[in-house]
A and B are shown apart, each in its own frame.
Chain A
Amino acid sequence: MVEGEWDIITGNHAAALAAKLARVSVVAAYPITPQTTVVEYLASFIESGYMNAEYIRVESEHSAMAAVIGAAAAGARTFTATSSQGLLYMAEVLHWAAGSRVPVGMAVINRALGPPWNIHVDHQDAMSQRDTGWLQIYVSSNQEVLDTIIMMYKVAEHPDVMLPFMVCLDAFVLSHTFMPVKIPRQEEVDEFLPPYRPRHWLLDPSEPISFGNLVLPDEEYQEMRWSIDLSMRRALEIMEDVAEEFSERFGRYHGGAVMKYRLSDADYVLLTSATLASEAEVAIDIMRDEGMRVGLLKLRSFRPFPHRDLRESLQGRKGVIVIDRSISFSSGGPMGNEVRSSLYDISGAPPVVNYIAGLGGRDITYNDLIMMTKDAIGRISTGRLKRPYYWYKLKPEYQRVELAEEVIS
């Protein structure tokens, strides 16, 4: 593998390379399928001297996150990676990272949650952590994995942001699949991404401080939460600026918080994220050939949520089809709910049809996306929008129960 050249690598290899190119100096991680090869690559990079960093071996994901928070608090740029149950095991410390305002970086290889045991793609793991205060970006290709991790360090370390970030990639569809990736040269990345210099607080033995102390109701607890929220909102603009700067330097633009595809004249908008969004580009091309005016809005950033972008892009359309790869039980897809709440109070808000699809790695092809789009257009044009969300491609015997339920309700 040569920097500055094309190579054919997996998403996990791209994530590890991105950490190296970002000059991460501390890595702590615990292996879990399908993340394992990320930490194996990092271990071999460090062992062979290709990457200059400390590798902390830990006994759990909870400790991995605690270790990188400590290292980041002492001024290091840090990285870890996890999946599924590992991410849940980190949950408590995820809140600590955001509350500490340390810009820790993490690759989350999205995998279904047990029980039942399943190692395939599903976004439930990351969606369950959506309120931890982490920036959450979903990517569609191995190139986007590499580029986004580098870009997100710049966003997260911006003095107005100072929040941790997770770059989410689909298990196996990206993590273990080889794709051509242009690997930037180290000097190019160094010019783009300056060294991390914490400005707000630093653990320094010569000037001891204590951190995370008791903050009572009359003190600034609520203001601290507000400050995370404000930084997240500010991160939306910064993300766009960083994406544009990246595109000028490296010639690749993956979008800021959203990416639009054949959207300008579309009547119906397909809105989804991660690898379903790249599959959706194929679906859009086919439907366009059939004369349907459909476009794609790929949601890259789920946190911060790009409300304004969505309102501007979706106002006045005939319908929006949101496809979620996770479920908030009895409430719908997390993305579907956010999109609806974004659009609720504007005049000319299009109807939103939300599908729950592809859970536990069930295959969703472009044909499925076309089926969902046509089903949604049919429902919108005939007024059959009885329910806030629909399950797509249940096994037939269960689909019958679901359809009967739809008729009753």
Chain B
Amino acid sequence: MELEVPILIPVSKPRRGASGETGLWRIEKPVIDEGKCIKCWICWLYCPEEVIYEDQSGFPAIDLSYCKGCGVCADVCPAKAIEMVRE
């Protein structure tokens, strides 16, 4: 009797959840001072992870589940409204 040859390949489905939460890698997180923020959205434009969104009050907010803490937003902010804070 011929036995079937198992072809094993490393394939998986991309999914949300703990396995995809890249925010776990972060050392520093961005904190936005709404008093200084001028809503220019340059942080949103430059964020490499696309984790900046508009909150209910119309200010930029950060989805920390996926923010890797690279600090690009703080660096590009013209109003110096974003500070990187140790977790």
- Residues on A facing B (Cβ under 8 Å): 99-101, 159-162, 200-201, 208-213, 215, 220, 223-224, 227, 230-231, 234
Residues of chain A contacted by B5 (CB below 8 angstroms): 159-161, 227, 230-231, 234
B55 to nearest A CB, angstroms?
29
A/B interface sample: 11 pairs, CB < 8 A: A101-B7, A159-B7, A160-B4, A160-B7, A209-B14, A224-B9, A224-B10, A227-B6, A227-B7, A227-B8, A234-B5
- Kindly list the 3 A-B residue pairs having the minimum CB-CB distance in the complex, ordered from nearest: A160-B5, A227-B8, A224-B8
Interfacial residues of chain B within 1-34, with CB under 8 A of chain A in the complex = 4-14
Residues of chain A contacted by B10 (CB below 8 angstroms): 99, 211-213, 215, 224
Would you call A209 and B13 a contact (CB within 8 A)?
yes
Number of interface residues of B (CB under 8 A): 11
Residues of chain A contacted by B4 (CB below 8 angstroms): 160
Q: Is the interface of A mostly helix, strand, loop or mixed?
A: loop
A165 to nearest B CB, angstroms?
16
Would you call B9 and A210 a contact (CB within 8 A)?
no
| Complex alpha-carbon distance, A117 and B7, angstroms | 41
| Complex alpha-carbon distance, A91 and B8, angstroms | 22
B14 to nearest A CB, angstroms?
5
Would you call A210 and B12 a contact (CB within 8 A)?
yes
| Complex alpha-carbon distance, A101 and B6, angstroms | 12
Would you call B12 and A213 a contact (CB within 8 A)?
yes
Residues of chain B contacted by A224 (CB below 8 angstroms): 8-10
| Complex alpha-carbon distance, A112 and B69, angstroms | 51
A196 to nearest B CB, angstroms?
15
B20 to nearest A CB, angstroms?
10
| Complex alpha-carbon distance, A227 and B4, angstroms | 11
Would you call B14 and A220 a contact (CB within 8 A)?
no
Residues of chain B contacted by A223 (CB below 8 angstroms): 8
B53 to nearest A CB, angstroms?
23
A61 to nearest B CB, angstroms?
24
B17 to nearest A CB, angstroms?
14
Give the residue name and chain of the A residue nearest to B15 (CB): A210
A356 to nearest B CB, angstroms?
36
Would you call B9 and A231 a contact (CB within 8 A)?
no
| Complex alpha-carbon distance, A245 and B4, angstroms | 22
Would you call B9 and A208 a contact (CB within 8 A)?
no
Residues of chain A contacted by B11 (CB below 8 angstroms): 201, 209-211, 213
Residues of chain A contacted by B8 (CB below 8 angstroms): 220, 223-224, 227
Give the residue name and chain of the B residue nearest to A208 (CB): B14
B12 to nearest A CB, angstroms?
5
| Complex alpha-carbon distance, A264 and B20, angstroms | 63
